[in-house]
Amino acid sequence: MKTIKTLLSVSIISLSLATVSCAEQSTQPMVKTQLAQAVASEHRSAANKMRDEYRHPQQTLEFFGLKSTMTVVEITPGGGWYTEILAPTLKGKGKLIGAHYPDTGEDNYYSNSRKRLEKKLASHEMYSEVELSNFVPKQASELAPAGTADMVLTFRNLHNWGDDGVKQVFVDAFKALKVDGILGVVEHRLPKGASANKMNNGYVSMEKTIEQAKAAGFTLIASSEVNANPKDKASYAKGVWTLPPVLALDEKDKEKYIAIGESDRMTLKFAKVAK
């Protein structure tokens, strides 16, 4: 009798897992469609769409495992390039939180950046459900209430924060995430074995980034070359900003750098795994 009950229990569990698996698989085409529609949407500017060939937004977000029902934190959305895609994908079912610099009332980069973001969010109904939290670089910040986020994303930000700032951000992200939540990182990649200098300023060591995330409690579960660019040698007079879209050298060798394209980037997927 015990054997029959055990087999029955195992069968029920297996059936439940299979049902969950089927449900997840059935949502994948839906997410792909939603992302494709968001990427192609008319609310995105032509200039932003031109950068899709370097940033691969749909493939990147699919790699991270984005689902429309998630609570997602985007750290420092800046001009809202990824917000334009995340907001419509999550609207109505999930939640998007932009963890951005607070407006302190001062006339500085941080406050002005917050004002510009708020203006953008108020400019279109597409952003009506986006929430904002306060992120202060190199200080402990509540990106979202502890244990409430399914995913935390950061795109090309690590180089701005320095080692101590990155460590703090990863700690903050770990606190914000649910168990099994995902931390997605895209960043300019320093060639393996290269030492940081002014010629490769703006590039970050992938090995160090992985170490810092692990120190905060994360587990690296996957990496992707979706944002790789083998043409980028990461050794330029004005670092990563020599390349598009900044083209910091103005007209000098402009066509050469346009031909290289945007930077080579690491794309890392970490998880807050239950211990």
Correct CATH for 2-271 of 3.40.50.150, 3.40.1190.20, 3.40.1400.10, 3.40.50.300? 3.40.50.150
Using the predicted structure, report yes or no on whether residue 27 has a pLDDT greater than 70.
no
Tokens matching residue 182 = 């995902």
**What pLDDT band is residue 162 in, cutting at 50, 70 and 90?**
very high
User: Which residues lie across from 185 on neighbouring strands?
Assistant: 154, 268
Residue whose entry in the numeric block shows the structure tokens 């032509």: 46
**What pLDDT band is residue 3 in, cutting at 50, 70 and 90?**
very low
Using the predicted structure, report yes or no on whether residue 213 has a pLDDT greater than 70.
yes
What would the mean pLDDT of 39-54 be, rounded to a whole number?
A: 93
Residues 96-135 have pLDDT tens digits of 999 999 999 999 999 999 999 999 999 999 999 999 999 9
This prediction's pTM: 0.88
Q: Could you tell me the residue ranges of all domains in the chain?
A: 2-271
Residues 226-261 have pLDDT tens digits of 999 999 999 999 999 999 999 999 888 999 999 999
**pLDDT in the model for residue 152:** 98
**What pLDDT band is residue 28 in, cutting at 50, 70 and 90?**
low
Distance in angstroms (rounded) separating the CA atoms of residues 182 and 221? 9
CA 218 to chain centre: 15
